[in-house]
Structure 1
Amino acid sequence: MKRYNKKNERISTISTFLLIPLSGLVTDIYLPSFPEMQQALGVEAGAIQLTLTYFLVSYGFALLFAGSVVDSFGRYNLTLGALVIFALSNFAIVWFPDIYLLYAMRIIQGIATALIVVSKRSFLVDIYSGDKLKHYTSWLTVIWSMAPISAPFIGGYLQKLFGWDANFYLLGIYALVMLVMEAAFSGEALKNFKAFNKNTIAEAYRNVLRAPDFSIGLVVLGLAYGMAMVFAMSTPFIVEHHFHLSPVVTGYCALFSGLGLMFGGLIGRALSHWPFVGKLFGGGTAILVLGILMYSFGQYYSTVYTLMLFVLLLHTSSGFIYTVYFTYCITRFPQYAGVANGLTSGASYLVTSVVSFAIISTIHIETQSLLALSYIILGITMLLVINYLRVVAGKKLLWR
């Protein structure tokens, strides 16, 4: 097995950060193509939206166990194998266009992406420690937010110039390029492999989930990211059907959504010394207030510009909450780095998939006001969960 060489620290860290946005890239790049995919595959809009749900569910479930897998079998070989599978699954979607094959490939992509992302996050814990580790982990959500910023923007132009299948060709080529980069410059950095013992693994999961501040965080993270997913699943139809604009405009709208997530992440890093629960309450309150304003405004006047102004502000607030709690969770249990990383993303993604699918299925979002209503529901739920955290965690966490 090829071992990690410290002289490649810089380039292997760059490679890690290039792979961190993969989960966002694979969900967001084809959003502008939703309407054309619906026509090309001869299915309803809901069937195309399900491709996103299938990915989220498989990704979330895989993340729950990916931590223990990479702690037992290492990061390097799993990353290489998962990149190969990910590349081939994207090419299969293009070569054999069928909605059921698309569902199957998205499930496979969810599993492969989970192994890649958890492996690379744990890789940072393997090679860094102390303040340097906190520095790099605090950048994770900021780097990840580059995918929601750039992917739909790129996807909109690919859709306009080449059609929906160009998005999946790009994902496959991207995976192959990263495969070459990882093989050349990365290596196995895990020093102590943990035996794949179900009792030991179960004990690790129990120890992590018993901490109420951690387990409650999974719900908060899922609700915060749920805002972005509800937007992602509804905006192609709002922009292209309600406003009668092009897929390129959908890409620009998603770009503003991603910018909001990035701005929120940067604000979260800048305010790292502020009281923890106080930051969460501030972000949740901002979401609720902005959601009410967005709903009220949409009753009288609605354009793509007003829509995106509110979305930018709302996603900045959700990105702020996500960064604050994500950084807290993944550094909460350094002795269970893989398990904590997997659970933090996996369980929160499951919450996101359930919440976003429930909202999309019941509200049928087609206008600014209906999108605002979904944000209001998520904001109220988030504040209730954060208040429960304040009650069960006590003053120690409140002023952390």
Structure 2
Amino acid sequence: MNRKKTLKQQHQGISTVLAFTLIPLSGFATDIYIPSLPSMAAALGVSDIQVQMTLSLFLISYGVAQLFVGSLLDSFGRYKINLISLLVFALASIIIANTSSIYLIYAMRIIHGITVGAIVVSKRAFFVDVFSGDKLKHYLSMFSIIWATAPIIAPFVGGYLQNYFGWQANFYFLAGFAVIIFILELIFSGETIKQRMPFNIKIISTVYQEMISTASFTLGIVMLGLSYSMVMIYNMTGPFIIEHRLGLSPIVAGYSSLILGAAVMLGGFIGKSTINKPFNKKLIVNLSIQLLFGIFMFIYTGFAASLYSMIFFAFMIHACSGYTFNSFFTFCLSRFPKNAGIASGLTGGINYVIVSFLSYCIILFIPAKDQYNLNYSYLILIALSAIVMFIIFKMTGKKIS
């Protein structure tokens, strides 16, 4: 953990793979125990909303942490902060697996959010440090696609862990994953920052102010929050609908989340393939398709609601969300290359604050009761997305550049 250790040229390929491996950690930290939410509530003797709070606390601490960690990474480097965060994350996971106190779990999930924030922001900044030009743009457009591996793999694994070993196994898995990556990072990675920014509050505040006052950047982050909220709403309500309302197993809930994770990844791939298409036009088409499927879901649910219809319509809506997320994520992260850590932190931070606030408020007022409530949640978020898109086009002269 020598502070002066820098990334060796011969290890750049392996280090890049490790960076991509850590990009979806935020998703793994939430999605792996989604099939376990009903069982956790029963085992801990708490209500559904109390166990759902473990997701919200992670999201808001993850978001808030990113707002500040970017400046630390730009001032003190990426490598050492990343290593320390991996170890603390592993320890918090072990504590969660060995307690029956929901309040201690809340505290550890907040620590999870802070450490994952530091890890993910450092790895986003890694790509801006190491790559440039078209190669950098290519890698940035890959972020949302790589991130989408978490909602595909994690609930699938989590469903089986829950079914055969119980909810605690999910957190032992997270701890083991973090320790393995820590060892590999120690061997193959190193510091990548080229020029450290002085840790001067006034200078840092000026940079933050410049970024936040850029309308297209800030509103782009709002679009990220709205698109990911659609995914998170399902994550927080879907297992309860499947396991309580439909009477199916955690494995079925895991497979359903896997399918919807694939939808987000599909949307990301389509977004990447249309990266050079006119920005406004493609986003309007995408949002129109999403609205149509939201309306069709509402109509169809009244006639023949089933697991298959819910997953089909949710798949189409999530694919459109993945497209929106990919398009705006690439745009926001490439906006301020000279302050990659802060830009990455603000992008992820504000996004997850929006997601945590919106998703919790929506499930509080529209609880995980049935497919109608899930559909209402989707329609609210789609309507908000349309409003924000209209404002973006108005404020940026109808063209994002």
- Pick the TM interval, shorter chain: over 0.9
Match of 2:238 in 1: 235
Q: Is the 8 Å Cα contact of residues 296 and 369 (structure 1) preserved in structure 2?
A: no
Q: Is the 8 Å Cα contact of residues 295 and 370 (structure 1) preserved in structure 2?
A: no
Deviation, structure 1 residue 156: 0.2
Match of 2:149 in 1: 146
Deviation, structure 1 residue 97: 2.4
1:48-73 per-position Cα deviation (integer Å, ceiling 9, x unaligned) = 00000000010000011111110011
Asked if residue 212 in structure 1 is aligned to residue 211 in structure 2, the reply is no
Q: Is the 8 Å Cα contact of residues 37 and 48 (structure 1) preserved in structure 2?
A: yes
Match of 1:104 in 2: 107
Pairing of 1:253-264 with structure 2 (within 5 A): 253-264=256-267
**Pick from 113, 116, 126: which aligns with 1:123?**
126
Q: Is the 8 Å Cα contact of residues 280 and 398 (structure 2) preserved in structure 1?
A: no
1:291-310 per-position Cα deviation (integer Å, ceiling 9, x unaligned) = 11101111111111111111
1:62-94 per-position Cα deviation (integer Å, ceiling 9, x unaligned) = 011111110011000000000000000000011
Match of 2:138 in 1: 135
Match of 1:338 in 2: 341
Larger deviation, residues 118-127 vs 280-289: 280-289
**Take 2:347 and 2:357, find their aligned partners in 1: how far apart are those partners?**
16
The secondary structure found in structure 2 opposite 1:194 is coil
1:149-182 per-position Cα deviation (integer Å, ceiling 9, x unaligned) = 0100100000001000000000000000000010
**Take 1:382 and 1:166, find their aligned partners in 2: how far apart are those partners?**
37
Q: Is the 8 Å Cα contact of residues 393 and 399 (structure 2) preserved in structure 1?
A: no
**Take 1:374 and 1:275, find their aligned partners in 2: how far apart are those partners?**
29
Q: Is the 8 Å Cα contact of residues 287 and 376 (structure 1) preserved in structure 2?
A: no
Normalised by the length of structure 1, the TM-score is 0.98
Q: Structure 1 residues 395 and 359 mapped into 2: Cα distance closer, same or farther (>3 Å)?
A: closer
1:374-394 per-position Cα deviation (integer Å, ceiling 9, x unaligned) = 111111110010011010101
Pairing of 1:272-311 with structure 2 (within 5 A): 272-311=275-314
Q: Is the 8 Å Cα contact of residues 285 and 379 (structure 1) preserved in structure 2?
A: no
Opposite residue 255 of structure 2, the aligned amino acid is Y
Q: Is the 8 Å Cα contact of residues 280 and 399 (structure 2) preserved in structure 1?
A: no
**Take 2:284 and 2:399, find their aligned partners in 1: how far apart are those partners?**
16
**Pick from 228, 233, 236: which aligns with 1:225?**
228
**Take 1:127 and 1:179, find their aligned partners in 2: how far apart are those partners?**
20
**Pick from 372, 375, 389: which aligns with 1:372?**
375
Match of 1:20 in 2: 23
Deviation, structure 1 residue 33: 0.5
**Take 2:195 and 2:399, find their aligned partners in 1: how far apart are those partners?**
33
Match of 1:92 in 2: 95
Opposite residue 300 of structure 2, the aligned amino acid is F
Q: Is the 8 Å Cα contact of residues 35 and 162 (structure 2) preserved in structure 1?
A: yes
**Pick from 192, 201, 211: which aligns with 1:189?**
192
1:21-64 per-position Cα deviation (integer Å, ceiling 9, x unaligned) = 10000010001001110111110011000000000010000011
Identity %: 45
Match of 1:324 in 2: 327
Deviation, structure 1 residue 195: 1.1
Match of 2:363 in 1: 360
The secondary structure found in structure 1 opposite 2:304 is coil
**Take 1:217 and 1:343, find their aligned partners in 2: how far apart are those partners?**
11
The secondary structure found in structure 1 opposite 2:303 is coil
Deviation, structure 1 residue 279: 2.0
The secondary structure found in structure 2 opposite 1:4 is coil
The secondary structure found in structure 2 opposite 1:328 is helix
Match of 2:13 in 1: 10
Opposite residue 165 of structure 2, the aligned amino acid is F
Pairing of 1:45-64 with structure 2 (within 5 A): 45-64=48-67
Pairing of 1:383-394 with structure 2 (within 5 A): 383-394=386-397
**Pick from 365, 381, 385: which aligns with 2:384?**
381
Normalised by the length of structure 2, the TM-score is 0.98
Q: Is the 8 Å Cα contact of residues 149 and 265 (structure 2) preserved in structure 1?
A: yes
Asked if residue 271 in structure 1 is aligned to residue 274 in structure 2, the reply is yes
The secondary structure found in structure 2 opposite 1:43 is coil
**Pick from 245, 248, 251: which aligns with 1:245?**
248
Q: Is the 8 Å Cα contact of residues 98 and 168 (structure 2) preserved in structure 1?
A: no
Match of 2:202 in 1: 199
Q: Is the 8 Å Cα contact of residues 287 and 375 (structure 1) preserved in structure 2?
A: no
Deviation, structure 1 residue 95: 1.7
**Take 1:205 and 1:300, find their aligned partners in 2: how far apart are those partners?**
51
**Take 1:21 and 1:216, find their aligned partners in 2: how far apart are those partners?**
23
The secondary structure found in structure 2 opposite 1:300 is helix
Matched length:
398
**Take 1:200 and 1:238, find their aligned partners in 2: how far apart are those partners?**
49
Cα-Cα RMSD = 0.8
Runs of 4+ in 1 over 4 A off after TM superposition: none
Q: Is the 8 Å Cα contact of residues 26 and 116 (structure 2) preserved in structure 1?
A: yes
Deviation, structure 1 residue 395: 4.0
Deviation, structure 1 residue 396: 4.1
1:196-217 per-position Cα deviation (integer Å, ceiling 9, x unaligned) = 1110100000111111100111
